[in-house]
């Protein structure tokens, strides 16, 4: 096991609002880290700060031994971070295959190689039969899988999944959980922001609970869901 | 082999034979070809990278002025002048892009208008170099291997080679990494960054390439006009016309600019000779109809429907 990612005392402040307050985390190869918390807890902001889509006010992000705290998002991608977006961001005027091709070009300069990687990614998420359709014609569940295919085509070392399971029906959820499991088996580390507890319980090696920007609990999934602070954060007190 | 290359070769041969037909309108042909080249160059930035420029007349003017001044003031052959113009265009695009690509929304488009205006004022006020408001005249040109550059048929072939070159560049880019980077930046900048793409660098590359190719066409235009006036060449309407050619033909497509150029130049010519007073009205109506009915442009809409149809047939 090797530490691939560490975030130390991350604080993200937008004007007077502190969205993330002194949160630290570490991640090792093949590990799945779950980030949970009620709406507005700062999960997505923390996620964005680590991947370079939100500015870090104080603190330090180290990725594969490199200080990336102030590196732009595209550099972090080149170092090996791959992410999905909670609100899908397809390239709407491109086909499904072309969408993934853009990502596959990162590590494959030649079209043939890139196309092979893109097709393999589409196959993995079960979108191969949609490859030549326009991405703007996909429904929501498929757009979400397209997001994942795009991230996979980057061949990342750490995969960041932002609520990838939301809105999936039970069989699709099961498939997605299975898919993430096969990825971690290859050594890929995963950080997932998720509301679906079933996915967290089945996948996460370690879970961090955020509320109002603060880390209020961490540990195994079963530990944290029985934690009093966590129950209070979700349901409020009497 | 790429089918677009075959189409390009076919069209090139057909266009090369055109001057030999008895009823050939050479000057209209030159206009179509130059607009095809400028519009195709504009398309790299405006269509593929999605950055609306309303100042491409700047690059045309740069090419035309360099050729004219080079010939009249320094006795420089037009091919050297035009190379110099392309270099200056590249530097200009680089600086201009660096200053403005950080801006979001319509600010880049607005800044492009300003650039043409600045160049126009320079051309008017630096009379010692540019001939001022009255313009600059090309009276002699070298005759490489006995070729008369003032001859309209020669100019037609120069314009043809130019138009074909810009389309060839577009075809080359279209299936490669750079082409997808351009489209990714256009469609969603954040998603592009998540794919490891630096949007500013991609936009700068597109701008430099687009500016250089436009300036090349400007050089040929300078020879064609042989008389350059600042308020005509650095004209906002001229920039708008280049942009419109692509918008009507199809942004981000290979053939859209050529189709737009043929449609606008030829219909403009017909309207002007047959309807005299009403010609601008008809021209305006044509543009409006295309934009309302086919928002992706003629070729853009066709390609879009083709993809959908193909998929429907397969499924």
Q: Where are the domains of chain A?
A: 3-80+156-235, 90-155
Rg (CA), chain A: 18
Query: Between A and B, how many CB-CB pairs are < 8 A?
Result: 92
The DSSP element (H or E) to which A223 belongs, if any, is: helix A221-225
Note whether residue B105 is domain-resident: yes
What values do phi and psi take at B191, rounded to 5? -65, -35
Total domain count, chain B: 1
In a mutagenesis test of the B interface, which of A91, A114, A152 is the best target, namely the one with the most B β-carbons within 10 Å?
Answer: A91
Closest residue of chain A to B303, computed from CA coordinates: A93
By the CB < 8 Å criterion, does B179 face chain A? no
Would an 8 Å CB–CB cutoff place B313 in contact with chain A? no
Q: Does B128 touch chain A (CB under 8 A)?
A: no
Pair of tokens at residue A141? 């569940």
Give a yes or no: residue B285 inside a domain: no
Question: Which of B210, B169, B214 is CA-nearest to residue B34?
Answer: B214
Instruction: Indicate whether B252 belongs to any domain.
Output: no
Q: Is position B301 within any domain?
A: no
Distance from CA of B3 to the nearest CA of A (A): 17
Of the candidates A52, A101, A132, the beta carbon closest to that of B180 is on A101
How far apart are the C-alpha atoms of B179 and A107, rounded to whole Å? 16
H or E stretch including A12? strand A3-14
A91 closest CB neighbour out of B175, B187, B196: B187
Contacts by residues B93-96 (CB-CB < 8 Å, ≥ 24 positions apart): B93/B59, B93/B204, B93/B207, B93/B208, B93/B210, B93/B211, B93/B212, B94/B204, B94/B207, B94/B208, B96/B207
**With an 8 Å Cβ cutoff, are A93 and B252 in contact?**
yes
Residue B240 lies inside a defined structural domain of this protein: no
Minimal C-alpha gap between B308 and chain A (Å): 7
Residue A141 to residues A88, A108, A165, A178: CA-CA distances in angstroms?
A: 10, 28, 9, 16
Angstrom distances, CA of residue A79 to CA of A27, A44, A82: 16, 21, 9
For an interface test with B, the pick among A75, A102, A129 (most B C-beta atoms closer than 10 Å) comes out as: A102
**Pairwise CB contact (< 8 Å): B308 & A92:** no
Q: What is the spatial distance between Cα A192 and Cα B166, in angstroms, rounded to a whole number?
A: 46
DSSP A87: S
Interface contact A134-B183, CB threshold 8 A: no
Digitized pLDDT (tens) for each residue of chain B, 315 residues in all: 589 999 999 999 999 888 888 777 899 999 999 999 999 999 999 999 999 999 999 999 999 999 999 988 888 899 999 999 999 999 999 999 999 987 777 888 899 999 999 999 999 888 888 888 888 888 888 888 888 888 899 999 999 999 999 999 999 999 999 999 999 999 999 999 999 999 999 999 999 999 999 999 999 999 999 899 998 899 998 999 999 999 999 999 999 999 999 999 998 888 888 877 777 777 788 888 888 898 899 999 998 888 888 877 665
Q: Are residues A77 and B187, on separate chains, in Cβ contact within 8 Å? A: no
Let me know if residue B110 belongs to a domain: yes
Contact across the interface for A73 and B194, Cβ inside 8 Å: yes
**Residue B202 to chain A, least CA–CA distance (Å):** 12
Residue B210 · residue B44 · CB < 8 Å: yes
pLDDT of residue B1: 57
Which candidate from B175, B184, B196 shows the least CB-CB separation from A111? B175
Q: How far is B192 from chain A (nearest CA, A)?
A: 8
Assign 3-class secondary structure to chain B.
Answer: CCHHHHHHHHHHHHHHHHHHCCCCCHHHHHHHHHHHHHHHHHHHHHHHCCCCCCCCHHHHHHHHHHHHHHHHHHCCCHHHHHHHHHHHHHHHHHHHHHHHCCCCCCHHHHHHHHHHHHHHHHHHHCHHHHCHHHCEECCCCCCHHHCCCCCHHHHHHHHHHHHHHHHHHHHHHHCCHHHHHHHHHHHCHHHHHHCCCCHHHHHHHHHHHHHHHHHHHHHHHHHHHCEECHHHHCCHHHHHHHHHHHHHHCCCCCCHHHHHHHHHHHHHHHHHHHHHHHHHHHHHHHHHHHHHHCCCCHHHHHHHHHHHHHHHHHC
Q: From 3.40.50.300, 1.10.287.3510, 3.40.50.720, 3.10.310.10, which CATH number describes the A3-80+156-235 domain? A: 3.40.50.300
Residues of chain A with pLDDT under 50: none
Domain that holds residue B220: 3-235
φ/ψ of residue B146, rounded to 5? 75, 10
pLDDT at A238: 61
Q: Is residue B47 part of a domain?
A: yes
Q: What are the chain B neighbours of A82 within 8 Å (beta carbons)?
A: 194
pTM of the shown model: 0.92
């Amino acid at each position: 096991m090797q530490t691939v990612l560490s975030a130390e005392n991350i604080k993200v402040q937008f004007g007077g609002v502190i969205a993330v307050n002194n949160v630290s985390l570490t991640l090792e190869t093949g590990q799945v880290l779950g980030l949970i918390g009620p709406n507005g807890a700062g999960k997505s902001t923390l996620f964005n700060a680590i991947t370079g889509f939100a500015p870090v006010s104080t603190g330090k992000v180290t990725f594969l031994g490199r200080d990336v705290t102030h590196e732009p998002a595209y550099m972090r991608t080149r170092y090996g971070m791959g992410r999905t977006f909670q609100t899908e961001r397809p390239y709407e005027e491109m086909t499904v295959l072309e969408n993934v091709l853009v990502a596959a070009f990162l590590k494959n300069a030649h079209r043939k190689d890139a196309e092979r990687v893109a097709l393999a990614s589409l196959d993995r998420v079960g979108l191969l039969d949609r490859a030549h359709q326009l991405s703007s014609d996909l429904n929501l569940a498929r757009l979400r899988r397209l997001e994942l295919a795009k991230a996979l085509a980057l061949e990342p070392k750490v995969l960041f999944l932002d609520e990838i399971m939301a809105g999936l029906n039970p069989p699709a959820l099961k498939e997605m959980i299975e898919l993430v499991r096969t990825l971690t088996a290859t050594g890929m580390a995963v950080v997932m922001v998720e509301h679906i507890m079933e996915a967290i319980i089945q996948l996460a090696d370690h879970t961090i609970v955020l509320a109002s920007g603060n880390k209020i609990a961490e540990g195994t999934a079963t530990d944290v869901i029985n934690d009093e602070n966590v129950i209070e954060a979700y349901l409020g007190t009497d | 082999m790429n089918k677009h290359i075959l189409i390009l070769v076919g069209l090139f041969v057909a266009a090369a034979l055109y001057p030999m037909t008895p009823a050939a309108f050479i000057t209209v042909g030159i206009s179509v070809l130059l607009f095809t080249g400028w519009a195709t160059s504009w398309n790299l930035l405006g269509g593929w990278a999605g950055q609306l420029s309303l100042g491409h007349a700047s690059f045309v003017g740069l090419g035309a002025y360099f050729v004219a001044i080079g010939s009249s003031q320094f006795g420089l052959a037009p091919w050297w002048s035009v190379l110099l113009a392309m270099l200056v265009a590249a530097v200009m695009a680089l600086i201009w892009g660096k200053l403005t690509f950080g801006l979001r929304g319509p600010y880049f488009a607005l800044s492009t208008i300003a650039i043409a205006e600045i160049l126009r004022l320079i051309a008017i006020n630096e009379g010692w170099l540019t001939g001022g408001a009255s313009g600059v005249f090309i009276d002699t040109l070298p005759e490489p291997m006995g070729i008369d550059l003032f001859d309209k048929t020669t100019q037609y072939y120069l314009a043809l080679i130019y138009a074909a070159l810009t389309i060839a560049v577009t075809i080359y880019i279209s299936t490669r990494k750079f082409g997808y980077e351009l489209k990714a930046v256009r469609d969603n900048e954040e998603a592009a960054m998540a794919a490891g793409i630096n949007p500013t660098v991609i936009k700068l590359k597109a701008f430099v390439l687009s500016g250089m190719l436009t300036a090349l066409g400007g050089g040929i235009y300078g020879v064609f006009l042989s008389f350059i006036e600042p308020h005509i060449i650095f004209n906002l309407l001229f920039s708008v016309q280049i942009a419109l050619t692509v918008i009507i033909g199809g942004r981000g497509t290979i053939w859209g600019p050529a189709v737009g150029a043929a449609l606008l130049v030829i219909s403009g010519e017909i309207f002007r000779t047959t309807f005299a007073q009403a010609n601008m009205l008809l021209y305006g109506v044509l543009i409006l109809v295309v934009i309302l009915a086919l928002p992706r442009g003629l070729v853009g809409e066709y390609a879009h429907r083709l993809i959908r149809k193909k998929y429907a047939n397969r499924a």
